[in-house]
Amino acid sequence: MRFYRSHVLVCGGTPCILEGCKAVRDALTEELKRRGLDEEVRVVETGCLGPCDLGPVIVVYPEGTLYEKVAVRDVSEIVEEHLLKGRIVRRLTGEGRLAGIVSYKEPEYLECQERIVLRNCGIIDPSSIEEYIARDGYRALAKCLTEMEPCDVIEVMKQSGLVGRGGAAFPTGLKWSFTANAVADEKFIICNADEGEPGTFKDRLILEGDPHSILEAMAIAGYAVGAERGFVYIRGEYSLSIERITKGIEQAKAMGLLGRDIFGSGFSFDIEVRKGAGAYVCGEETALIESMEGGRGEPRVKPPYPGTHGFLGMPTVVNNVETLGNIPRIILNGPVWYRGFGTPKCPGTKVFTMTGDINSKGLIEVPMGITLRKIIYEIGGGIPGGRSFKMAQTGGTSGGCLPGEMLDVPMDYFTLPEMGSALGSGALLIMDDSHCIVDIAESFMRFFVRESCGKCVPCREGTARLHHIVEKIAIGNGTYEDLRVLEDLSHAMQKTALCGLGQSAPIPIMTMLKYFKDEFEAHIKDKLCPTGTCRL
């Protein structure tokens, strides 16, 4: 292996690509070559580094200097000053907007973060299986296959307390045990990468940044439950994820880390990629399975659950990308180590995606139980433009909306539901006081109208009615009776809809009515928007 004195990591996550990181990468490579530094300095395109709104982002190691919003015209200066003369280009280290974060290694940015799932994201070249292996990659699988019985693996998962990170928070070990105990000709592992919750892009960036960790985890799951085939179901819009994971599968197969008789253990496991075609509801596991079988992505009646009756009617484990991302570390470091993170009831970390009115938008991984205040003000750099916080929606568009009084609530899968909200997929939408609640509510409801699959009555008809009523209020035609109907309708949807989509569609409305009722009433009674920003 060649020795390089410096590594320049160029974030190749989709947000940075949109900001032109490829041109920056090419310019860097070109400039290094021109100056004869290409033998000394290596350019690595990595997965997402996190601060997505600062892209293109690059990090220079060994110093760990993070440069943000790097343009092609900045490249020669970085090479000249930093890589040749060893002087950090302060101008590009973000002293302006993101005060305090001058270096990727400095504690302010990472002190509150614990990177388990994202440990390789932004560090390694995701298209290189060697780099993954160099950071203990596939060691967890080897450990399972050579030192552990399948039941031991499940036991470790149970003890770790890991729960599903897609939103349902079902204990992963328990889920695996259902499938492990089922007797069938064939069993399947499905990685649910149909990330569609607005405001969520963690799975995309995990798949882009560290595809092998997901493949490894799937093979571990396969070993634990007795499955020999796995599928990664990725939404069709995520072309880079599809490309990276497909390449990852090829590499792993070529090295014998997937395929027949892995590590000579007799265990075989193969993975295929399936592409979605644009349907949010396919994030629901039975809808996903319907879609994989070539049907309309409509959820099935449960029970029976996929654990025993899944893909092709066979026992099937469906795990979210982030859930899987935890697994290799849990296997290597043990459940006790894992329980050291987060809260006793809800161990581990959570990946959040911060969007909306927040200074630092992007991807973070923090211990479970962290407060909203800490995320927004310490990690996210607060609200831009000197405005004040109004509301945070946790868990994506199907999550609840929390007011300022709730900023100190611990964020985990058990506390938020008590507040009428949900941790969900980990999307955090921050809204400042310039926005109108009713206007946002209307936007939320429009989403559900578009995404309802149309199978069950409460969701098919209910989402359209929720939207219709909120729209009426938004344009000043609402009545107090409408608020009562909204409540009854929300109750029926939450209690009787066939799947999580219809059950959670009313959550934003319910929490908004709970915490921001006065704003609805102003639209009804005074026909006025208190913020003066909506259509009224």
Partner 1 sequence: MVTIDGLRVQVDAGTTILEAARKLGVDIPTLCHHPDLEVQATCRICVVEVEGEKLLQPACAFPVRDNMVVRTNTPDVRSARRVNLELILAHHPTDCLQCIRNRNCELQALAERLGIREVRFERKLRGIPLDESTPAIVREPDKCISCRRCVAMCRDVQAAAVLWPVGRGVDTVVAPACERELGDVACALCGQCIHACPVGAIAERDDTEKVFRALADPTRHVVVQTAPATRVSIGEELGFPPGEIFTGKLVAALRRLGFDKVMDTDFTADLTIIEEGNELLKRIKEGGPLPLITSCSPGWIKFGEHFFPDLLEYVSTCKSPQQMFGALVKTYYARHSGIDPKDIFSVSLMPCTAKKFEAERPEMASSGYQDVDVVLTSRELGRMIREAGIDFANLPDEEHDSPMGISTGAAAIFGATGGVMEAALRTVYEVATGLELPSIDFQEVRGLEGIKEAEVMLGDMKVRVGVAHGLANAKRILELVRDKERVYHFIEIMACPGGCVGGGGQPIPTNMEIRGIRGNALYVADRLLPLRKSHENPAIKQLYEEFLMEPLGEVSHRLLHTHYTERSKYPVSCYPMSQNACD
Partner 2 sequence: MDVMPASLDSLESTIKEIVARHGRSEHELLAILDDVQRAFGYLPENALIEVARNLDMPLGKVYGVATFYTLFSVEPVGEHVIRVCENAPCHLLGADTLIDVLSQELGIPMGGTTSCGKFTLKHTSCLGVCGVAPAIMIDDEVYGNLTPDDIPVILEKYR
Contact residues: partner 1, CB under 8 A: 279, 296, 298, 301, 303, 449-458, 460-465, 468, 481, 485, 488-489, 491-492, 494-498, 503
Nearest to partner 1 of 73, 495 (CB atom)? 495
Tell which one of 251, 393, 463, 531 touches partner 2 (CB under 8 A).
393
Give the side-chain half-sphere CA count within 13 A for 444.
Answer: 31
Interacting positions 439-468 with partner 2 (CB under 8 A): 440, 443-444, 446-447, 450-451, 453
Based on the shown chain and the rule CB under 8 A, indicate whether residue 209 belongs to the binding site for partner 2.
no
Question: Is the separation of the CB atoms in 482 and 472 below 8 Å?
Answer: yes
Distance (Å, rounded) from C-alpha 123 to C-alpha 391?
Answer: 34
Is 103 one of the binding residues for partner 2 (CB under 8 A)?
Answer: no
Nearer to partner 1, 147 or 488 (CB): 488
CB of 38 to partner 2, least distance (A): 30
For residue 376, what are the CA distances in angstroms to 340, 379, 431, 441, 454?
24, 6, 11, 22, 37
Backbone phi and psi for residue 502, each to the nearest 5 degrees, phi listed first: -70, -30
The two three-digit tokens of residue 144, written as one number? 């399972």
Q: Which residue lies nearer to partner 2 by CB, 343 or 355?
A: 355
- Using rule CB under 8 A, residue 275 touches partner 2: yes
Q: Report the candidate in 162, 237, 227 with the shortest Cα–Cα distance to residue 200.
A: 237
The SS3 assignment for 318 reads strand
Residues with Cβ within 8 Å of residue 55, at least 6 apart in sequence:
11, 13, 15, 16, 18, 19, 21, 68, 69
Task: Quickly list DSSP for 461-525.
Answer: HHHHHHHHHHHHHHTT---HHHHHHHHHHHHHHHHH-SSHHHHHTTHHHHHHHHH-HHHHHIIII
Kindly state the smallest distance separating residue 448's Cβ from partner 2, in Å.
11
Region of 13-21, 131-139, 483-491, 517-525 interacting with partner 2 (CB under 8 A)? 13-21
**Which CB, 201 or 280, lies closer to partner 1?**
280
The residue (of 129 and 287) whose beta carbon lies closer to partner 2 is 287
CB of 298 to partner 1, least distance (A): 8
Q: Does 519 bind partner 2 (CB under 8 A)?
A: no
CA–CA gap between residue 214 and residue 245 (Å, rounded): 9
- Rounded Cα distance between 192 and 171, Å, is 16
Task: Provide the minimum distance between the beta carbon of 429 and partner 2 in the complex, in angstroms, as a whole number.
Answer: 6
Instruction: Note whether 359 binds partner 2 by CB under 8 A.
Output: no
Rounded Cα gap, residues 234 and 378, in angstroms: 33
Give the nearest distance from C-beta 520 to partner 2 in angstroms: 18
**Positions that interact with partner 2 (CB under 8 A):** 14-15, 17-19, 52-53, 55, 195-201, 204, 235-239, 274-280, 291-298, 353-357, 361-363, 393, 397, 427, 429, 431, 435, 440, 443-444, 446-447, 450-451, 453
